[in-house]
Amino acid sequence: MQPETSRPSDLIYGLDDRPKPPAALLAALQHVLASFVGIITPPLVIGSALGLGAHLPYLISMALMVSGVGTFIQARRPFGIGAGMICLQGTSFAFLGAVLSAGFLVKQRGGSPEDILAMIFGVCFFGAVVQIVLSRFIGQLRRVVTPLVTGIVITLIGVSLIKVGITDLGGGFNAADFGAPGNLALGLLVLLTIILLNRSNTPWVRLSAIIIGLALGSLAAWFSGKLVPQALPDLPLISLPTPFRFGFSFDWTAFLPVALIYLISTLETVGDLTANCMLARQPISGPSYISRLKGGILGDGVSCMIAATFSAFPNTTFAQNNGVIQLTGVASRHVGLYIGLLLFCLGLFPMIGAVLQQIPKPVLGGATLVMFGSVAAAGVRILAQAPLDRRSMLIIATSFGVGLGIAAQPNLLHLLPKVVQNLFDSAITSGGLTAIVMCLLLPEDRAVLHDANPAGESDRLEPL
């Protein structure tokens, strides 16, 4: 392992270097551009599905603002909270299914948009406590939730969310013109644009593919009459964060699926932090590595707690920003401070959210379809890295069968107690819990264990 004090040739600025403000600001701006759409898309999707349009500008502002605060904490590492690296915090797609389930639960009870948000942020607040506790036991946690379980759950998350993306592509839930040729054409235009730009050999064209696709799709919708710009609402110039603005509510049936995703999100963060350490030429084993992992996951949990307090959806460490570090050769954690300040400043202006809210649903669906498909593909990639013996194939088959089967036929559980219905009617929770239970009950083949760990280092934490 190369010493931390040396300057590797492929890094312009190492972890503790201090770039001059112009260089730091330029590097920070590239990170913001690469993550902006990822941060604002979950609030747009959740707001659209749950009928929260009146609150969307505020929700988008808070998403950006909290992402900035979380990123600043990760880079600054106060009191040991954070990884001390560029770990951009952004709204997590992994929570969409569980958050939407909690929202629909309240909606079916006749709850108002404010009631829906109170429930979502209440269960997410306590879910953040789960992640904070898990950060202290990361080594033991890896023995319970293996890469096999993680791959299954992430694949189920992607497959479940694809329904949301394809619904928007058709025009939106209960749209009068759902499936109209114009809607399909707009969605396909965005989808094809993103695919073609991702095939470019120019790195920044690939990084900007989603932004360009959304802009091109919105322009086409404007010319075709699908996008009629509306007068912007009477919003304050500055959006000030208010703790628990929509109240605070809690329900165990809504909490348990969210808690499971916090568990999976923790393991995803391990992989992202490990990749970040490699890019920044930091150790990926030993006490300093474990300390960084614990601090980074604790930073994720604190960021999620701040998010729930100030009406933003759960955050996670964004993986795509590792690509920006590799592309720019800038790994300085001081750039993370600039990223945090930029995102916070963007969140101060609710007009940004009001403008983005007008993106037509078919345009948004074309972009989210490929995003959600990428989530499922990431899960498949993790599964492909696990030893696929008979035991693993049986666990995968059963978990997918239970999860996707219940998602396809939700009435299967309608005669069971309500608490069971609410907990297991999600493909993510039913399939994920099935995978965890089967991994615990079915013993691993000793030959497979020896091949995977010939040195007998069962207690060492390996990267995902």
> Which range, 140-149, 188-197, 283-292, 319-328, is most confident?
188-197
Answer yes or no: are the C-beta atoms of 368 and 41 closer than 8 Å. yes
CB atoms within 10 A of CB 14: 19
DSSP summary character for residue 233: P
Beta-strand ranges (E) seen in 249-334 are 315-317
Beta-strand ranges (E) seen in 345-391 are none
Answer yes or no: are the C-beta atoms of 197 and 208 closer than 8 Å. yes
For 112-152, the pLDDT digits (tens) are 999 999 999 999 999 999 999 988 887 777 677 677 887 88
> Which range, 83-87, 210-214, 239-243, 425-429, is most confident?
83-87
What crossing angle do the helices spanning 252-279 and 113-134 adopt, rounded to 10°? Answer: 50
What confidence score (pLDDT) does residue 6 get?
41
pLDDT over 70 at 2, yes or no: no
Q: Which residue has the tokens 């750039």?
A: 335
pLDDT over 60 at 187, yes or no: yes
Answer yes or no: are the C-beta atoms of 266 and 96 closer than 8 Å. no
- Under the banding of pLDDT at 50, 70 and 90, the label for residue 450 is low
Residue positions counted in the chain: 464
Dig out the tokens for 204 from the structure.
């920044």
pLDDT over 70 at 453, yes or no: no
pLDDT over 50 at 167, yes or no: yes
Rounded CA-CA distance 448/209 in Å is: 41
Dig out the tokens for 31 from the structure.
């990170």
- Under the banding of pLDDT at 50, 70 and 90, the label for residue 320 is low
What confidence score (pLDDT) does residue 131 get?
92
Rounded CA-CA distance 281/16 in Å is: 11
Q: Lowest-pLDDT range, 42-51, 223-232, 362-371? A: 223-232
Average pLDDT of the chain is 82
What confidence score (pLDDT) does residue 383 get?
86
Average pLDDT of span 356-367: 82
Residue scoring higher pLDDT (343 or 6) = 343
Q: Lowest-pLDDT range, 102-106, 324-328, 355-359, 410-414? A: 324-328
For 4-17, the pLDDT digits (tens) are 444 444 677 888 88
Rounded CA-CA distance 374/382 in Å is: 12
What confidence score (pLDDT) does residue 78 get?
92
pTM: 0.71
What confidence score (pLDDT) does residue 5 get?
41
pLDDT over 60 at 455, yes or no: no
pLDDT over 50 at 19, yes or no: yes
Q: Report the phi/psi class of residue 391: left, alpha or beta, with left for phi > 0 and alpha for psi in -120 to 50.
A: alpha
Dig out the tokens for 20 from the structure.
């001059």
Q: What percent of the chain has pLDDT over 70?
A: 87
- Under the banding of pLDDT at 50, 70 and 90, the label for residue 454 is very low
For 249-286, the pLDDT digits (tens) are 998 888 988 888 888 788 778 777 877 887 788 887 77
Average pLDDT of span 206-216: 79
What confidence score (pLDDT) does residue 418 get?
67
* Residue 316 phi, psi dihedral angles, 5° rounding: -155, 165
In the three-class reduction of DSSP (H, G, I as helix; E, B as strand; rest coil), residue 12 is classed as coil
- Under the banding of pLDDT at 50, 70 and 90, the label for residue 85 is very high
What confidence score (pLDDT) does residue 146 get?
75
- Under the banding of pLDDT at 50, 70 and 90, the label for residue 216 is very high
Name the residue among 42, 146, 52, 169 with its Cα closest to residue 98: 42
Average pLDDT of span 357-381: 80
Answer yes or no: are the C-beta atoms of 214 and 364 closer than 8 Å. yes
pLDDT over 60 at 103, yes or no: yes
What confidence score (pLDDT) does residue 233 get?
67
Dig out the tokens for 79 from the structure.
């009191």
The partner residues of 330 in beta bridges, in order of sequence, read 13
Q: Lowest-pLDDT range, 50-59, 100-109, 195-204? A: 195-204
pLDDT over 70 at 217, yes or no: yes
Q: What percent of the chain has pLDDT over 90?
A: 24
Answer yes or no: are the C-beta atoms of 266 and 315 closer than 8 Å. no
State the burial class of residue 296 (Cβ atoms within 10 Å of its Cβ: 0-12, 13-18, 19+): buried
